[in-house]
Homo-oligomer: A and B are copies of this chain.
Amino acid sequence: MSSNNFKPLRNKVVDKAKEDILELGQELFHPGFSVDCVIFGFHENQLKVLLLKMKHIDIWALPGGFVLKEEDVEDAATRVLQSRTGLDNIFLRQFHLFGQPGRSKHDFNAELLKKRQVPFDGSHWFLQRFMTLGFYALVEYSSATPRPDNNSDACEWWDLQQVPALMQDHNQILDKALEALRLQLAYQPIGYNLLAEKFTMPELQKLYETILGKQLDRRNFQRKMLTYDILERLDERRSGVAHKAPYLYRFNQEKYQQALQQGLQGGW
């Protein structure tokens, strides 16, 4: 992220936010392009996703927005997420560009402009075709309290199994993000910021099982995880457990960061 020019851009958009961005979009934003954020929350062994309920149209959607004309796309996703949900310091990862011509619904957007009482004709920027870049992140959700912005009635965590029909193609974007998150488990470490500093192997396995949506063999999981060489086993065991209390582990920060950059040893 080029965070050097990040703050001024945010200030600029905060000023503009006093007015309606749908009216100013032509002047403000890169044309025909948006970003959408899939924020997975991990809490008590449950995988959840953060959704906004849109004002006026009463439908749930992923937090999304537009890219300022001089803004880095990665910075835009962070800004959009922060301004729409109040969540900050989340590492977002782009995973797919959705570029089918049919994905922007002209009539749907025209309806929204009417309800927002924005004057427009057929050439209005908001009615053009939009490509959207999908970003995802996995966060320990209790660490962040989402709040809706002034275009939303609600900002809530939903169980993945209970997600309703979302705006436009947002269900497909969500599915694709989950796919990307699962693939990530195959070549990069995960878990830092999601687990306590010290955790047991069964707790780490539960995180993987929750994301993958399937049970894993205990022995294979431990063997594989240890070959990745990102864990330090401590000379402590989880207390308050019956006999055979499991050992506690923590991530070796240096090796964890290295594996994020270069992929897991377990790869090749």
Contact = CB atoms under 8 A, between A and B. Distances in A.
A266 B187 CA distance: 11
> Which of A94, A96, A268 counts the most B-chain CB atoms under 10 A from its CB?
A268
B133 A100 contact: no
B73 A97 contact: yes
A27 interface: no
A26 to B, nearest CB: 11
A101 B186 contact: no
Contact of A30 (B73, B94, B129, B182): B129
A110 interface: no
Contact of A94 (B31, B69, B76, B97): B97
A73 B71 CA distance: 22
Interface string A122-145: 000000010101000000000000
Contacts of A101: 5, 69-72
Contacts of A129: 30, 69-70
Given A67-B99, A97-B97, A187-B186, A73 B131 contact: yes
Interface string A20-37: 000000000011110000
A185 interface: yes
Contact of A185 (B97, B185, B267): B267
A239 interface: no
Contacts of A234: none
B99 A183 contact: no
A148 interface: no
Interface string A90-107: 000010110111000000
Interface of A: 2, 5, 30-33, 67, 69-74, 76, 94, 96-97, 99-101, 129, 131, 133, 182-183, 185-187, 208, 212, 216, 221, 224, 263-264, 266-268
10 contacts: A2-B100, A67-B99, A70-B129, A72-B99, A72-B101, A94-B96, A99-B133, A182-B263, A183-B263, A186-B267
